[in-house]
């Protein structure tokens, strides 16, 4: 017996390429198994607001390659509002759902884990361009963001070379520098700054030295990638050109601040760019479409088997499942080996 034949699907947290591919895969495989599929709008908020739609064949057609999420998303957490977890449980029952598939990053999946403990039959799918969900090699959206950042770095290289400048690109990655490392390595960056390795005076010296050494070798330009969560440590506010006492530059200013420091110390003209939301928008790569398809199909299977409280994950080339409790409130940081490999080519 499979119980009720109704599955709910929602997307929470920041959007990313590949969400629609996962919604499509979940819905189509569920429809094939004779389920009705209910899309919940704007994450957990949609359950509270009773804001949903039926995801039939027509609504889930032609969305495989579409960026964003047709369901809308929000960062609303029911755990932060009194009475909201109970409202979520009631809405789930009122909709007659037998299981809920939640696409989310660390925040949304941690909430899913706690809601499971409170009795919500839930299955998680990891998605985030930051790639920092624990226990999965890749999350949906990451490879697309890496490709966008790599394309941007290739373009920055030609202008950096023409003007003999240091060109610095700030990419996303609040708590982990996966995009910076993967895109930096793919584009042959000369330095990569990530949250996992704080930048102190010593490291800043090395970066500036590298700019000088490259000039000596006839390469009168350099490419630096900075993750938005990269941290400066041990510098005074005036050295960082920031006016907050002893402060860390705010998010979306780290690239600018590092660029100014490099220019001041090397005398080489330095420019910075930020990819911001461009790296989160638009069509997913083939890899992300296929990962999303495999994750979505597996999530449906878990609901059919009533195997709740799990997240689908990538291990090697296979899709596995891990308990949500094992990934909740954790951050998967960059493997040191991966960073060291990229660093071998800094010069
Ligand atoms: O969740 C991933 C992420 O892209 C982070 O890298 C970034 O800090 C954050 O989202 C920005 O999110 P928001 O949409 O809330 O501005």
Nearest protein CA to atom 8 of ligand 1, as residue: 174
Question: Following CA atoms 67, 106, 76, 284 in sequence, which dihedral angle do they give, to the nearest 10 degrees?
Answer: 0
Distance of CA 267 to the CA centre of its chain: 35
Give 194 Cα–ligand 1 centroid separation in angstroms. 16
Instruction: Evaluate whether 296 touches 125 at the Cβ level (below 8 Å).
Output: yes
Pick the CATH number of 6-141+284-326 from 3.40.50.450, 1.20.120.1200, 3.90.1150.10, 3.20.20.70: 3.40.50.450
pLDDT at 2: 47
Rounded Cα distance, 227 and 197, in Å: 11
Same fold, 6-141+284-326 and 143-280: yes
pLDDT at 238: 78
Nearest protein CA to atom 13 of ligand 1, as residue: 14
Instruction: Evaluate whether 299 touches 125 at the Cβ level (below 8 Å).
Output: yes
Instruction: Evaluate whether 107 touches 44 at the Cβ level (below 8 Å).
Output: no
Give residue limits of the domains in the chain: 6-141+284-326, 143-280
Q: Mind listing the pLDDT tens digit for each residue in 70-123? A: 999 999 999 999 999 999 999 999 999 999 999 999 999 999 999 999 999 999
Pick the CATH number of 143-280 from 3.40.50.10860, 3.40.50.460, 3.40.309.10, 3.30.43.10: 3.40.50.460
Query: Over pLDDT 90: what percentage of the chain?
Result: 90
Strand order in 191-193's β-sheet?
191-193, 222-227, 166-171, 270-274
pLDDT at 313: 98
Average pLDDT over residues 309-328: 97
| Confidence (pTM) | 0.95
Distance of CA 183 to the CA centre of its chain: 14
Residue 322: strand, helix, or coil = strand
Q: Is the CB of 174 under 6 A from ligand 1?
A: yes
pLDDT at 27 over 50: yes
Q: Is the CB of 11 under 6 A from ligand 1?
A: no
Instruction: Evaluate whether 178 touches 230 at the Cβ level (below 8 Å).
Output: no
Q: Mind listing the pLDDT tens digit for each residue in 230-271? A: 999 998 877 777 765 556 776 668 999 999 999 999 999 999
The answer to whether 130 is a known catalytic residue is yes
């Amino acid at each position: 017996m499979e119980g009720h034949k109704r599955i709910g699907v929602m997307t929470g947290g920041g959007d990313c390429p590949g969400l629609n591919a996962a919604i499509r895969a979940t819905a189509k495989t569920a429809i094939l198994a004779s389920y009705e599929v209910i899309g919940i709008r704007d994450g957990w908020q949609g359950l509270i607001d009773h804001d949903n739609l039926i995801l039939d064949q027509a609504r889930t057609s032609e969305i495989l390659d579409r960026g964003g999420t047709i369901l809308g998303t929000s960062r609303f957490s029911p755990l932060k509002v009194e009475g909201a977890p109970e409202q979520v449980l009631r809405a789930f029952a009122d909709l007659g759902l037998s299981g809920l598939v939640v696409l989310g990053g660390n925040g949304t999946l941690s909430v899913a884990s706690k809601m499971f403990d409170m009795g919500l039959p839930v299955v998680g799918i990891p998605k985030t361009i930051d790639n920092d969900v624990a226990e999965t090699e890749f999350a949906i959206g990451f490879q697309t963001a890496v490709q966008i950042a790599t394309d941007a770095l290739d373009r920055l290289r030609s202008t950096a070379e023409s003007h003999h400048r240091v060109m610095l690109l700030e990419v996303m990655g609040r708590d982990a520098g996966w995009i910076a490392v993967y895109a930096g390595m793919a584009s042959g960056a000369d330095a990569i700054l990530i949250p996992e390795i704080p930048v102190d005076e010593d490291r800043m010296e090395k970066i500036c030295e590298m700019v000088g050494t490259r000039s000596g070798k006839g390469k009168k330009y350099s490419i630096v990638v900075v993750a938005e969560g990269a941290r400066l440590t041990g510098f005074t506010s005036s050295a960082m050109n920031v006016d907050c006492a002893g402060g860390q530059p705010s998010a979306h200013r780290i690239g600018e601040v590092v660029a100014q420091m490099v220019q001041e110390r090397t005398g080489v003209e330095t420019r910075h760019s930020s990819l911001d939301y461009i790296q989160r928008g638009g069509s997913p790569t083939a890899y992300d479409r296929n990962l999303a398809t495999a994750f979505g199909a597996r999530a449906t299977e878990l609901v059919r088997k009533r195997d709740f409280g799990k997240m689908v994950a990538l291990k090697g080339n296979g899709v596995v499942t891990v308990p949500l409790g094992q990934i909740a409130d954790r951050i998967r940081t960059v493997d040191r080996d991966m960073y060291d490999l990229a660093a071998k080519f800094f010069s």
